[in-house]
Chain A
C-alpha cells in the first residue's frame, strides 16, 4: 500500500491540482466575502454603472436595428448580423415607443422591464451557456467530475461573471475558440475543418481571434489558415452590406475603433492595456498628457512586438496561446475585463498538456489563475470596494506574463538554433499528442 506523503513526486506534475485548489479557494473566498460584506464587495469586480447590467447586449440588439455604427459601436459586422436576427423577434411598436432612436449611443434601461425584450436575451443566454458548457467540457481532459469542476470554475471566474453581467458576447467567441483548439488536430478531416471553421466564425464575431491564425501559420498549415480566413470573409462581407451600410459603414466602424482607442487611452479607470500600464505608473510624474500617451504607445510596441514574435516562436503550444491572449488584452483598443477569459485556453493546454515540472510553468499558471480569479479587495484609502485592485492586479499580471513568456520563447529559440531539426519536429508531435483527440 502506498504511503501518503506530502512530499511532491518529482516524476509527477501538479499543475492540475495547483489550479483547482487555488481557483476553488479564490472563488469561494469571493462568495464568502460577498456575504460578509453584505454584497458590497461585488463592486470590486463589476462595472461601476449600477444600471448597466446586460446593457451591452441590449445596446447591440437595438443598434443592430438601426444605423449601428452611427452610435459609435465597435461590434464586428457579423455580430451585428447575429443581433439583427434577434432584433427581428422584437415588436416594432413597443420598440419605437421605448427606444425612440436606434442609433442613439445609449439605450434606455427601461428596456429591462419588458418581457418582449427579455425574450431574445433569454434565448441568447441559453445559447451562450450551452456553447460554453459543452465546448469547455469537451476540451478538458479527465473524468466527469474534473470536467464539471473545471467548467464551473470558468463560469465563476472574474471575466466570465463580468461578461455575463454586462451582457457581453465575448463568451460566444471564447466557446468558438475552444472548439477550434479542440478540433484543429483531430484525426478526422471533417472535424479538423469544423475546428478551422470555428476559428473563422470566432474572427467574424469578434476580430480579436484573428491573432490565433498564428497557431496555424506556425505549424505551416497555411491552407487551414486560408480556410479560416475564407469563412471569416464569407461571414463578414455580406454582413457589411446587409446591416452595416456597406463600405461607408465599414469606414465608420474603423473610425469608431480609433476613437475608442483614443478615448480609452485618456482614462486610467478599468483595465490597463500595455500602453496604459506605463501611463498609470508615470501618471503622477509631471509629464504632459501627450508625452504620456506617446510613451505609453512606445511601451506598448516594446512589449507587444517581441511578444508577437515570441508567439510565433514559442516552443510549447500553451506558451504560444498565452502570448496571443496577452497580446489581445494588451494591445486592444478597448481593453476590457472580458478579454481575460481567453486565458482559459492556455490554462487547459497547460494543466492537461504540460508534463514537466518547471518554475516557468508554475509561475505562468499562477498568473493565468490570477487573470481568471474573481479577486476583490477594499480600497485601502476609502475602505470601500472599487475595481482598482482587480484591474491593477490582472493588468500587470498579464504584462509580466507576456514579458516572461517572451523571454522564455527567445531563450528556447536560441537554444533550438544550436540543435538539429528533428528536435523541433518531435516537440510539435508532442504538442499535438497531449491534446485530447476527438472521439
Chain B
C-alpha cells in the first residue's frame, strides 16, 4: 500500500508568498502592545498616537468651519484649496446663527473655542461630514482591495487602528476624502467603460481640489503614457481647483494668498536630532546629521547644511518621481507617490501617511514573488502605519513613532534607489552589447519610455549575481525582480498611448 505523503502546511511553504499573514501578524503584534500599554500606563501611552494638545481633538475641522464664515478665508491664513473651503462653508451654513454667534466672537482667531465641540448644532455638521467621509472611504477601499468581504473588512479594521488614521480622526482632518478620491481614480482610470474612466479622472481632480497633495498622482498618467487623459485631467483640475477661486472668492489675489499661506506653513521645528514630530525629506537630513554629530562628532559647515538638506529633499523627490513613472508595479508607483507627498512639502504630517493604505492594498493583492526584498518593502510600508509605542525620556510621546514612520519612508525611497542603480548597471551592460553610443541609447530610452512603443530587445546579458533581465534595449529590470523594468517595456500601444 503506497504511503500517503504528508503535504507541508501552506504557511510553512516559503516558496509561496505569505505577505498577508506577515502584514496582519505584524500589525496584530503592535496593536496588542498598544492596547496593553494603554491599560498598564493608565492611558498615558495615548500620547504616542495623538496630537500633543489633549484639548484640541477635531479642531482642524471646527476651526476650518469657522474660518470659512468670512468672505475670503485666505486672508486669514487658510491653506485649503477652494473646494475644501466650500465644503467647510456648507458646514458653516448648517449651524443655526443663534448658537453660532453665542460661541464664535472672531472667526479669524487661529484657535477657536473648544466649547464648540459640546454644542449639538456644531457637532451635527461634523457628524454628517464624518459619516459621509467614512462611507466614501470604505466604499473606495472595497473597490481597491480584492478578496472576500471578510478580508476587506479585516483590512479596513487594521487601517482604522493605524496611527495615521487615528491621528487623522483625532485632528478631524479632511485628508480622508482626498485619499478616498485618489483610490477611486486609481481603480477607474483604466476602466473599460469610458464614463467610468472619466469618473476616475474627475475623482482625482476632486482629490486635488480638496488637498493639493494628490497632484503627485498625475505622474501615474505620465507613466502610462496617457497624455490625452492627462490633458483632460488638467482641464478638470482647472475647473475644480482654479475656477472656484474666480467664482466664489477674489480670483487671483485669493490664489496668491493661498500660495503665500502654504509656503509660510511650516512646523517650525528645530533641526536637531531631538526634533519632535514627523520628518519631511529635508528634516530627515537634519535628523540624520544630528545623530551623526551626536554619536561620532562629525560636523558639516553651517552654510553647507542647508544645501545638503535641499539636495536630500529634491534628490529623494526625484527618485520617487522617476520610480512612479517608470516602475511597472502599481504598488511601487503609488508607494513612491505616497512617499513624495509625505516628504516633499515643508511640513510632514502623520495623517498624510494615510496615502500608504493604497500601496499596502495593492501590494497584498498583486505581489506574488516571496523575495527578501519584497518582504523588506512590506515591512517598511507597515512601519509607516503601525501603532508603535516607545517611551522617550521616560515619558510617552510621539518622538519615536514619528521617527520610525519617517525613517521607514526614507528606507522605502532608498530601496527604490538601489533598485534603480541595479537597473542602470544591467542596462549599461546591455548597451555595450548593442554597440550604440551611450547618449543615443539614453535618448532612445527616454523617448521610448515616455512616447514610443517598445523597441525590439537585443540579446540579454547576465550581470553577475543578478537574474537575466526579461526585456532589454530599454532599461532592464533590477537584479532581484527582472519583471520590474525601469521602462514599461511590453506595454501595449493601446494602454500606453492613452486610448479612447
Q: Please classify the interface of chain A as helix (H, G, I), strand (E, B), loop, or mixed, using the class held by over half of its residues.
A: helix
Q: Which of A80-101 contact B (CB under 8 A)?
A: 88-94
How many residue pairs link A and B with beta carbons under 8 A? The number is 137
Interface flag for B135 (CB, 8 Å): yes
Structural contact, B124 and A113, CB atoms closer than 8 A: no
**A89 close to B118 (CB less than 8 A):** no
A429 close to B (CB within 8 Å): no
Map CB proximity to A onto B183-202 as digits: 1 under 8 Å, 0 otherwise: 00000000000000000000
A283 an interface residue at 8 Å Cβ cutoff? no
Give every chain B residue within 8 A of A205 (Cβ-Cβ). Answer: none
Which of B94, B95, B123, B161 contacts A165 (CB under 8 A)?
A: B123
- Distance, CA A42 to CA B91, complexed state (A): 13
Q: Which A residues from 84 to 132 make CB contacts under 8 A with B?
A: 88-94, 109-110, 112-116, 118-119, 122-123, 125-126, 129-130
Tell yes or no: A38 within 8 A of B by CB.
yes
Task: Take A91-B44, A112-B117, A119-B46 as given contacts and tell me if A156 and B166 are in contact as well, using a CB distance cutoff of 8 Å.
Answer: no
CB <8 Å contact, B42 and A138 = no
Q: Which listed residue, A126, A138, A165, touches B160 by the CB 8 Å rule?
A: A126
Scoring A residues 6 to 49 as 1 if CB is less than 8 Å from chain B, else 0, what string do you get? Answer: 00000000000000000000000001001100111011001101
B261 at the binding interface (Cβ < 8 Å)? no
- Is A433 part of the binding interface, using a Cβ–Cβ cutoff of 8 Å? no
| Nearest B residue to A89, CB-CB | B38
Q: Given A38-B93, A91-B44, A129 and B134 touching (CB < 8 A)?
A: yes
Nearest-CB distance from B147 to chain A (Å)?
A: 11
Q: Mark B131-147, 1 if CB is under 8 A from A, else 0.
A: 10011001100110000
| Residues of A in contact, count (CB < 8 Å) | 52
Contacts of B44 in A (CB 8 A): 91
Interface size on B, residues (CB 8 A): 53
Q: Residue on A with the closest CB to B46?
A: A119
A39 touches B95 (CB 8 A): yes
Closest B residue to A43 by CB, please name it: B96
A34-B94, A134-B149 are contacts. A115–B135 as well, Cβ < 8 Å? Answer: no
Complex: chain A residue closest to B93, CB-CB: A35
Cβ of A52 within 8 Å of any chain B Cβ, yes or no, is yes
Q: A133 at the A/B interface (Cβ < 8 Å)?
A: yes
Separation in Å of the A138 CB from the closest CB of chain B? Answer: 6
Say if the beta carbon of B55 comes within 8 Å of chain A. Answer: yes
* B43, B50, B96 pick with most chain A CB within 10 angstroms: B43
Could you say which residues of chain B place their CB within 8 Å of the CB of A88? 38-39
A439 at the interface (CB under 8 A from B): yes
Question: B271 near A: Cβ within 8 Å?
Answer: no
Q: Which of A49, A52, A115 makes the CB contact (< 8 A) with B56? A: A115
Please state if B119 and A51 are interface contacts (CB–CB under 8 Å). Answer: yes
Cα-based distance from A94 to B114 in the complex (angstroms): 18
Report if B120 contacts A (CB, 8 A): yes
Question: Would you call B115 an interface residue if the criterion is a C-beta within 8 Å of the partner chain's C-beta atoms?
Answer: yes
Question: What is the CA–CA distance of A116 and B96 in the complex, to the nearest angstrom?
Answer: 29
Determine whether B51 belongs to the interface, using a CB cutoff of 8 Å to chain A: yes
The contact of A54 among B123, B139, B161, by CB within 8 Å, is B123
How far is it, in angstroms, between the C-alpha of A118 and the C-alpha of B93 when the chains are bound?
A: 26
B138 touches which one: A40, A89, A129, A161 (CB < 8 A)? A129
* A42 engages B152 (CB within 8 Å): no
User: Known contacts A116-B43, A122-B169, A126-B160: does B117 contact A133 (CB below 8 Å)?
Assistant: no
In-complex Cβ contact of B43 among A31, A89, A164 (8 A): A89
- With known contacts A109-B118, A122-B169, A53–B90 Cβ distance under 8 A: no
Report whether B123 and A148 are in contact in the complex, using a CB–CB cutoff of 8 Å.
no
Question: How long is the Cα–Cα vector from A129 to B169 in the complex, in angstroms?
Answer: 14
Query: Is A151 part of the binding interface, using a Cβ–Cβ cutoff of 8 Å?
Result: yes
Query: Among the listed A50, A54, A116, A137, which residue makes an inter-chain contact with B121, where contact means beta carbons less than 8 Å apart?
Result: A50
Docked-complex contact A156 and B95, CB < 8 angstroms: no
Bound together, the chains give a CA A5 to CA B114 distance in angstroms of 57
**Smallest CB gap from B90: residue in A:** A35
- Assembled-state Cα–Cα distance A116/B142 (Å): 31
Contact B166 A122, beta carbon cutoff 8 Å:
yes
Q: Indicate whether A152 reaches chain B with its CB closer than 8 angstroms.
A: yes
Q: Which residue of A lies closest to B43 (CB)?
A: A91
Cβ of B250 within 8 Å of any chain A Cβ, yes or no, is no
Do A115 and B54 touch (CB < 8 A)? Answer: yes
Contact of B135 among A47, A114, A133, A144 (CB under 8 A): A133
Evaluate contact between A119 and B50: CB separation under 8 angstroms.
yes
B57 contacts partner chain A, Cβ-Cβ < 8 Å: yes
Query: Does A50 lie within 8 Å of B166, measured CB to CB?
Result: no
In B1-55, the 8 Å CB interface with A consists of 38-39, 42-44, 46, 49-51, 53-55
B94 to chain A, nearest CB (A): 4
- Nearest residue (CB) in B for A117 is B57
How far, in whole Å, are A148 and B148 apart by their CA atoms in the complex?
16
By beta carbon, the residue of chain A nearest B165 is A126
Nearest-Cβ distance from residue A90 to partner chain B, whole angstroms:
5
Q: If A89-B39, A115-B50 touch, does A137 touch B149 (CB 8 Å cutoff)?
A: yes
Q: Is A155 an interface residue (CB 8 A)?
A: yes
Inter-chain CA distance A49–B121, complex, in Å, is 11
Q: Which residue of B lies closest to A109 (CB)?
A: B118
Q: Tell whether, in the assembled complex, residue B120 and residue A53 are in contact, meaning their CB atoms are under 8 Å apart.
A: yes
Residues of A contacting B114 with CB < 8 Å? 113
Closest to B125 in A: A39
Decide: A155 and B149 in contact? CB cutoff 8 A: no
Residue from B38, B57, B125, B131 in contact with A118 in the complex, judged by beta carbons closer than 8 Å: B57
A298 to chain B, nearest CB (A): 37
For A54, what are the chain B residues with a Cβ–Cβ distance below 8 Å? Answer: 123
Residue of B nearest to A52 (CB): B120
A198: min CB distance to chain B, Å = 14
Closest A residue, CB atoms, query B41: A91
Report the separation of the CA atoms of residues A109 and B143 in the bound assembly, to the nearest whole angstrom. Answer: 39
Contacts of B149 in A (CB 8 A): 134, 137-138
**Min distance, Cβ A155 to any Cβ of chain B, angstroms:** 6
The answer, yes or no, to whether B170 is at the interface (CB within 8 Å) is: yes
CA distance A151 to B123 in the complex (A): 22
CB of B372 to closest CB in A, whole Å: 34
Return chain B residues, CB-CB under 8 Å to A46: 120, 124
Task: Output the residue of A109, A119, A151, A165 with the most chain B CB within 10 A.
Answer: A119
Please name all residues of chain A whose beta carbon is closer than 8 Å to the beta carbon of B127 when the two chains form the complex. 53, 161, 164-165
* Contact partner, B94, options A42, A51, A118, Cβ 8 Å: A42
Distance, CA A134 to CA B97, complexed state (A): 38
A51 CA to B38 CA, complexed, in Å: 29
**Judging by beta carbons under 8 Å apart, are A50 and B138 in contact?**
no
Does B131 lie within 8 Å of A155, measured CB to CB?
yes
Chain A, Cβ-Cβ closest to B150: A134
- Bound complex: CA A161 to CA B128 (Å): 8
Q: Is the CB of A164 within 8 A of B131?
A: yes
Closest 10 CB pairs of A and B: A91-B43, A53-B123, A115-B54, A126-B160, A39-B96, A39-B94, A134-B153, A50-B120, A118-B57, A115-B57
6 new A-B contacts, CB < 8 A, other than A89-B38, A133-B135, A161-B127, are: A39-B94, A42-B121, A88-B39, A134-B149, A148-B139, A161-B128
Q: Could you list 14 examples of A-B contacts with CB < 8 Å? A: A39-B93, A39-B124, A51-B118, A51-B120, A53-B119, A53-B124, A91-B43, A115-B57, A123-B161, A137-B142, A148-B135, A148-B139, A151-B135, A165-B127
Give B contacts to A, CB under 8 Å.
Answer: 38-39, 42-44, 46, 49-51, 53-58, 90, 93-97, 99, 114-115, 117-121, 123-125, 127-128, 130-131, 134-135, 138-139, 142-143, 148-149, 152-153, 156-157, 160-161, 166, 169-170
A binding-site residues for B, Cβ under 8 Å = 31, 34-35, 38-40, 42-43, 46-47, 49-54, 88-94, 109-110, 112-116, 118-119, 122-123, 125-126, 129-130, 133-134, 137-138, 144, 148, 151-152, 155-156, 161, 164-165, 439
